[in-house]
Amino acid sequence: MEALADLVKVLFDPAAVFARVKEKPSFLIPFLGLAVVQIVLGIINLPFLKAALHAQMASRQLPAGAPDPSNFAIIGVIAVPIVLVIIFLISTLILWILVSVFGGDGKFATLLSVVTYASVPAVILLSIIGAVVLRMKGVEAMASPADLQPALGVDLLMPGAKGFVGGLLKAINPFSIWALVLTAIGVQVTHGLSKGSAYAVATIHFLFGAMLAGVGGMFQR
């Protein structure tokens, strides 16, 4: 239960949470907590996802009798834990390489725990705020799945940005910056890096993540 409670505590007392992670890495319990919240939010936002898929389908010429993509929206919601695992593993691998390059003795299991806890602002808080914004905009405003993540960061400066640039800009927001700070604190506490090295690692890690988000944006229309 302490590992689950740390999902909240990491927001206001990250050093204490990562000190516990250093002694005993924890991934499964906090991951399940994140996954449950994401699935619940996904179900709450299901009408918006269906509307976005309907709008996307209407803009394309699909063969007669083709199945309605919105009928499979629930599958996307259920698949969220699998997607999160893949993202966390890739993110941890990048962080492990960076920590090793900057002189730390990278411990994959520990860094996986750091990545999981540090993701709370971007995975949970951003999703909650996003759900509120979606309800303010209304279902009729959904034109594509990309609209499911409202503009809350640098993308506000370029509202029409699509593709790589759109995905990159959306990845730069207050919640992802918060996650960057938590990552820096996490690697500093768990691996003994200096503050400067920890923030350098976290910043480079963040930029890798933003570029990957940009690549993901290339597949959204």
Are 144 and 205 in contact, with CB atoms under 8 Å apart? no
Are 114 and 187 in contact, with CB atoms under 8 Å apart? yes
| Burial grade of 92 (CB within 10 A; 0-12, 13-18, 19 or more) | buried
> pLDDT digit string (tens) for 36-51?
999 999 888 888 888 7
Q: Is the pLDDT of residue 60 over 80?
A: no
Please calculate the CA angle 205-167-203 and round it to the nearest 5 degrees.
15
156/96: higher pLDDT: 96
**Crossing angle of the two packed helices 80-101 and 195-217, in degrees rounded to 10:** 140
69/166: higher pLDDT: 166
Q: Is the pLDDT of residue 64 over 70?
A: no
**Predicted model pTM:** 0.88
Q: Is the pLDDT of residue 53 over 80?
A: no
